[in-house]
Amino acid sequence: MSGRKDVPKWVALNTVVLIAALFPVFWILMLSLKTPADVLDGRLIPSKFSFDNYTTIFEQNVFTKALINSLGIAVIATLIAIVLAAMAAYAIARLDFPGKGLILGAALAIAMFPPISIVGPLFNMWRSLNLFDTWPGLIIPYLTFALPLAIYVMSAFFREIPWELEQAAQVDGATPAVAFRKVMLPLAAPAVFTTAILVFIFCWNDFVFAVSLTSTSRAQTVPAAISQFPGASQFQSPVGSIAAAAVIVTIPIVIIVLIFQRRIVAGLTSGAVKG
Amino acid sequence: MATIELENLVKRYDDGFEAVKSIDLSIADGEFIILVGPSGCGKSTALRMIAGLEDITEGELKIDDEVVNEKAPKDRDIAMVFQNYALYPHMTVRDNMGFALKLAKTDESEIKRKVEEAADVLDLTDHLDRKPANLSGGQRQRVAMGRAIVREPKAFLMDEPLSNLDAKLRVQMRTEVARIQSRLGVTTVYVTHDQTEAMTLGDRVAVMRAGELQQVGTPAELYNDPLNLFVAGFIGSPAMNFFPATLEGDTVKLPIGEVPLPDSLRAAVRERSSSGDGDGDGDGDGKSSELIAGLRPEDFEDAAIVDRQRHSGGLEFDVPIEVVESMGSEIYAYFNYEGEGATSDALNELAADAGAEDLPGAGGGGRGTARLDPASKVKEGETYKLWLDAKRLHLFEPGSGASLTHGAERETATA
């Protein structure tokens, strides 16, 4: 143990990092609590605290609709991605099939593809396919980018699970499907939750697709909606409302991470096999 | 409970490597059979083929006279104990043991009864609600056994189940395994690389080398009458001593002296060397042939102790004693002799597998091990007179490794 001497040093370092990371959040929070008139007064702490900005955005149909769209689209995309990726990752980790390298390579290539470069063609395609400004219109591109990520994370995890566990299950009378469900999946739960969080955050935060492939509150998600916030009046800047909306959208992420954090524990497989 | 028959079983991988080359083995109902051999000899592959975890390339596998080549592991009704236990970490001991029954849709109360019964046998009752991570190595091993027992399967397959335990626990569990097997009377195939486990546990032992069965027999048969050099060197601890030998007529010339070929061995040697002595008349007519002679450590004795009667059937010789290990009940004397030790492929392979513990007399220097009576006055660093029992001599053909003395009528073990 290099010991107690280092403790003050670490505390100082951690404090610096925490302040750097959280200061913008604090700033946004303060901004959202100012009255519309005070928004541009240049002070960090509001002279008068008010929840006007919050009431304003919830009075607007635009924001609540966007919140529902965001939640729905992100949850559906996450569920589909997890189910497909779990199966694909299992196959990649366990089976030897022709084209395995190709699949992994393609997945990696897609993950590296800049989203902005496909937005233009997608916009045209979606309009002719009637997918423009619909939920599936966003879910599909989200899946293409979320799947490679999910497959990579999960296949790495599946590979860590000893083969013998599955073979033991098979000898115990399980079909491969039952062995996957009853033995592999429970053990892979941390990987599933980690992947789910990553995919959810990706979908929740996306701006490029959301702003280009939607136009109305039918499918507009929060990031896109915020960018189009009008002020309370023509002469007022919407900065306060934007800040309030930004605070609201971070809440689900924080809640989700807090819930699943407990499930993402390492060492769940300890004790399965010796050595 | 069932019979298991392996008929010309072959496992060939895509790259052409044959892990198992045509194994024929028939296992009786309730028999405890051991597959033993150095690492990489294909014994685990053979076991996994029986379990259905490896495809069978050629040949037939029958369980209870039914060909099961194409059956999935779950339909073969066999239980397997894995080397690393493979316990389900997210389940309690109770659920681990009951998992197979649950999949078979056995009633809850029945599962509870069977699991508790098995837990009782294995002394796991207090641990039923714990997770594998909180158990000691020995307990995990017992859970793995328990998982097999509750099934009441047609056969147990065990893949080096004791190799992860420390030495003391291994001896205890070895007895435990034997006790459970004889109590349940379930056909058991047990894979190990440890010849002690093979000798103590099995009704019959099958020695494998490079994917081929070398010899199948009771532990005593393998020990007293090995079919070839490999089996002779593999079975027994400390291992058999091997000497380069020359057979001239009825005399065996060893680096430590000349031994007359005992009458009991003569017929067997004559018959077998007929093909090899060059002129085909099988009389061993004065032509000399190079052989490898084998003698177990207990076939030596302190010359001063051996009684007069037995004396005549052997050879007295003087050798420098290098090391003496006194075990209380016996003394091991390691001696040197002039000239090179015996060499052959089989012996080199055994030496390589044993790692640092080179077989005495195998390759390299001329060394031997003798097990002497505790009354012996043998001392380190002195030249001492030992005696060897010629009736116990084994002779092997160096090229093929085949034994010339196999099947000879011997007198009952001496030492």
Among all chains, which residue has been given the structure tokens 């005399």?
A: B251
Helix (H) or strand (E) holding B301: strand B300-302
The predicted structure's pLDDT at residue B48: 93
- A72 by Cβ neighbours in 10 Å (0-12 / 13-18 / 19+) ranks as middle
Q: How confident is the model at residue B343 (pLDDT cuts 50, 70, 90)?
A: confident
Interface probe for A, chosen from B77, B81, B87 (most Cβ of A below 10 Å), is B87
Does residue A183 sit at the B interface (CB-CB below 8 Å)?
yes
Between B294 and B313, the higher pLDDT residue: B294
Q: How much is the mean pLDDT over chain B?
A: 86
Apex CA B409: angle with CA B407 and CA B414, to 5°? 115
Which pTM does this prediction carry?
A: 0.79
DSSP-derived pairing of the beta strands B32-36 and B204-209: parallel
**How many Å separate Cα A49 from the centre of its chain?**
31
Minimum CA–CA partner of B51 in chain A: A171
Does residue A265 sit at the B interface (CB-CB below 8 Å)?
no
Task: Give the tokens for residue B288.
Answer: 């000399």
Nearest alpha-carbon partner for A116 in A140, A136, A145: A145
Interface probe for A, chosen from B54, B77, B103, B142 (most Cβ of A below 10 Å), is B103
Give yes or no for residue A235 having a pLDDT over 80.
Answer: no
Tell me the three state secondary structure of residue A211.
helix
Give yes or no for residue B279 having a pLDDT over 50.
Answer: no
Cβ within 8 Å, pair A172-B147: yes
For residue A164, the distance in angstroms to the closest alpha carbon of chain B comes to 6
> Among the listed ranges A73-82, A237-246, B16-25, which one has the minimum average pLDDT value?
A237-246
Percent of chain B with pLDDT over 90: 53
Give residue-wise pLDDT tens across range B179-199.
989 999 999 999 999 889 999
List residues of B whose CB lies inside 8 A of any A CB: 51-53, 72-74, 78-80, 82-90, 99-100, 103-104, 131-135, 137, 140, 147, 151, 164
Does residue A167 sit at the B interface (CB-CB below 8 Å)?
yes
Give yes or no for residue A81 having a pLDDT over 50.
Answer: yes
Q: How confident is the model at residue A136 (pLDDT cuts 50, 70, 90)?
A: very high
> Among the listed ranges B87-101, B234-248, B258-272, B347-361, which one has the minimum average pLDDT value?
B347-361
Task: Give the tokens for residue B1.
Answer: 């409970």
The predicted structure's pLDDT at residue B216: 95
Q: Which of B53, B73, B85 sits opposite A274 (nearest CB)?
A: B85
Tell me the three state secondary structure of residue A15.
helix
Give residue-wise pLDDT tens across range A138-180.
999 999 999 998 998 888 888 888 888 989 999 999 988 898 8
What value of ipTM does the predicted structure carry? 0.78
Per DSSP, the residues of A110-148 read HHHS-THHHHHHHHHHHHHTT-TTSHHHHHHHHHHHHHH
Minimum CA–CA partner of A188 in chain B: B90
